[in-house]
Amino acid sequence: MIKILWADDEIDLLRPHIIYLEEKGYKLTAVKSGDEALDVLENNKFDLIFLDENMPGLTGIETLSIIKERYVNTPVIMITKSEEESIMEEAIGSKIADYLIKPVNPNQILLSVKKNIDSNRLVEEKITSNYQQEFRNISMQLSSSLNKDEWYNIFKKLTYWELELEKSGDDSVEQILEMQKSEANAQFFKFIKNNYRDWINGVDAPLMSHNIIRKKVAPLMTDDKPTYMIVIDNLRYDQWKVIEPAVLDYFVVNSSEMYTSILPTATQYARNSIFAGLLPSEIKKRHPAMWKDDEDPGGKNMFENEFLLDNLQMLGKGKSKVSYTKITNLDSGRKLINKIPNMRNNALNVIVYNFVDMLSHARTDMKVIKELADDDAAYRSLTSSWFSHSPLRDIMKQIAKQKANVVITTDHGTINVNKPSRMIGDRNVNSNLRYKQGKNMNYQKNDVFEIQDPLDYYLPIQNMNSKYIFAKEDMYFVYQNNYNQFVKFYKNTYQHGGVSMEEMLIPIITLSSKL
pLDDT at 26: 92
The number of CA neighbours under 13 Å toward the Cβ of 299 is: 6
Q: What is the pLDDT of residue 373?
A: 66
C-beta separation of 195 from 256 below 8 A: no
Closest by CA to 253, choosing from 404, 394, 406, 393, is: 406
Percent of the chain with pLDDT over 70: 92
| Every domain range in the chain assigned CATH 3.40.720.10 | 209-415+503-513
Rounded to whole angstroms, the Cα distance separating 289 from 285 reads: 9
pLDDT of residue 369: 61
Sort 486 into a burial class: Cβ within 10 Å, 0-12 / 13-18 / 19+: middle
Q: How far apart are CA 513 and CA 30, in angstroms?
A: 51
pLDDT (tens digit, 9 = 90+) per residue, 184-194?
999 999 999 99
Answer yes or no: is pLDDT of 234 > 70. yes
Segment 142-148 shows an average pLDDT of 93
Q: What is the mean pLDDT of residues 272-282?
A: 98
Given this model, what pLDDT does residue 370 score? Answer: 63
Alpha carbons 408 and 511: distance in angstroms, whole number: 8
The DSSP secondary-structure symbol of 357 reads H
Please give the pLDDT value at position 89.
Answer: 65
Burial of 117 (0-12, 13-18, 19+ CB in 10 A): middle
Tell whether the model's pLDDT for residue 166 goes beyond 90: no
Name the pLDDT band for 298 (thresholds 50, 70, 90): confident
Q: pLDDT per residue over 415-470, tens digit each?
A: 999 999 999 988 888 889 999 999 889 999 999 999 999 999 999 987 788 899 99
Over residues 361-384, the pLDDT tens digits come to: 555 555 556 666 678 888 898 889
Q: Are 134 and 161 in contact (CB under 8 A)?
A: yes
| Mean per-residue pLDDT, 159-164 | 93
Average of per-residue pLDDT values in the chain: 90
User: What average pLDDT does range 253-269 have in this prediction?
Assistant: 96
Instruction: Work out the pLDDT band at 512, boundaries 50, 70, 90.
Output: very high
Upper half-sphere CA count for residue 3 (Cβ side, 13 Å): 8
Inter-residue contact 10 to 30 (CB < 8 Å): no
Greatest Cα-to-Cα distance within the chain, rounded to the nearest angstrom: 92
Q: Give ranges for CATH 3.40.50.2300 in the chain.
A: 3-104
What pLDDT does residue 391 have?
Answer: 92
Q: Which amino acid is at 199?
A: W
> What pLDDT, on a 0 to 100 scale, did the predictor assign at position 171?
77
Q: Which CATH number fits domain 3-104: 2.40.37.10, 3.90.550.10, 3.40.50.1000, 3.40.50.2300?
A: 3.40.50.2300
Per-residue model confidence (pLDDT) at position 130:
87
Segment 84-102, tens digit of pLDDT: 666 566 656 657 778 788 8
Mean local confidence (pLDDT), 150-173: 89
- Helical residues (DSSP H) of 295-413, grouped into ranges: 304-314, 330-339, 355-365, 367-372, 376-388, 391-400
Q: How confident is the model at residue 358 (pLDDT cuts 50, 70, 90)?
A: low
Identify the CATH assignment for 209-415+503-513 out of 1.10.287.1770, 3.40.720.10, 3.30.160.40, 3.40.50.300: 3.40.720.10
